[in-house]
Structure 1
Amino acid sequence: MSKAKLKKLLSTLSKEQVVDIMLQLYDASKEANAWLEFYLAPNSDAELEKYKKAIRSQFYGRNDWPKDPSFRECNKLITAFKKLIPDPHAIADLMLYYVEQGCSLTAQYGDYDEPFYTALENNFNKAVKFISSNGLISDYSLRMQRMIKSVECCGYGFPDTLWDIYYEYAED
């Protein structure tokens, strides 16, 4: 059904019927539940912390023991957070946090395989592109530089690729 058709149909319903539909939708879908809660009482900071915790748990298990991250799950978390339509700063923060977790893991525990670095490079590229397109480079420039410097000891040309991505969008 198109949005226009849905809008026309909803406009024929009473307020009580629309409220009933919203309550049923709230119960039927976790995603709808999260979106409605955020829409009605937006708290980007609390939601951001919740998503950061979920991403961190993909990289570190109990007692901060490292584990092989599920990049697929991390990408799903980023997508779900974006659907809430939070402030672009919160999205940028979460996107960088995701890459920072991977950088922290490899800086602390040594080199990983090439697909690990490729996944991080691809996600860093998405983050920097998002940051640039939202005019936030100056807000996140130092953070990105610190993150890249933290992995200069890593292999597979990883830090070089991150620098290349950074300089492709950097304003300085």
Structure 2
Amino acid sequence: MSKRALKKYLSELKQEELAEQLIDLYERFPVVKEYYDFVFNPKEDKLVQDAKVKISNEYFPVKRKRPKARRSVAQKFLKHFTKLGVEPQLVADVMLYNVEIAQAYSADKNVPEAFYKSMLNSFSEAVQYIALNEILPDFKIRIVRIFNTTQNQQWPNEEEFSRALDIID
């Protein structure tokens, strides 16, 4: 069904019928329920805190022995936050937190080359997102700290991290 056909169909419905359909969607689809729950009661801080705990658990697990160190966990949260319309400052905070926790993990571990490339991608995306949303003053200190940490830990791709910073200059 096209958007035009949907609009026509919805305009022909009575108020009560439209309300019944929305309630049906709310009950059937968890995504719709989650969206409306967020719209009417946006507990953004709780969402961000939950995301940070799960991201941290990827690198420093509480219940299992070995860390999984998957970037995809953070990416799923970030995509979800973007769909919900979470404030850009909070999204950027989680983006930078992901890189910071990964740096803490790599400080005392021998990690594969792919890990560094993955964190470069996360860092580049965060810097671009921050620049696009014009919130650089709020995060400049953290961005510089992340860059300095890559140099202190002698990451093999520290030059690429420098190029990622060129976006904000």
1:41 matched to which residue of 2? Answer: 41
Deviates more, 1:64-73 or 1:20-29: 64-73
What's the RMSD between the two structures over aligned residues? 2.2
| Residue 39 of structure 1, CA deviation | 1.1
1:104 matched to which residue of 2? Answer: 104
Counting only pairs closer than 5 Å after superposition, residues 64-103 of structure 1 correspond to structure 2 as 67-103=67-103
Stretches of structure 2 lacking an aligned partner (at least 5 in a row): none
4+ long deviations beyond 4 Å? 63-66
TM-score normalised to the size of structure 1? 0.85
Given residue 162 of structure 1, which amino acid in structure 2 is its aligned partner? F
Q: Distance in 1 between matches of 2:155 and 2:96?
A: 21
Q: Is residue 58 of structure 1 aligned with residue 58 of structure 2?
A: yes
Secondary structure, aligned partner of 1:150: helix
Q: Distance in 2 between matches of 1:162 and 1:76?
A: 23
Q: Distance in 1 between matches of 2:30 and 2:81?
A: 13
Provide Cα deviations, 1:21-66, integer angstroms capped at 9, x if missing partner. Answer: 2222223333222211111222322222222223222222116966
1:127 matched to which residue of 2? Answer: 126
TM-score normalised to the size of structure 2? 0.86
Q: Is residue 149 of structure 1 aligned with residue 145 of structure 2?
A: no
Number of residue pairs aligned between Structure 1 and Structure 2: 169
Stretches of structure 1 lacking an aligned partner (at least 5 in a row): none
The percentage of counterpart residues that share the same residue type is 25
Q: Distance in 1 between matches of 2:21 and 2:55?
A: 33
Q: Is residue 160 of structure 1 aligned with residue 159 of structure 2?
A: yes
Deviates more, 1:154-163 or 1:27-36: 154-163
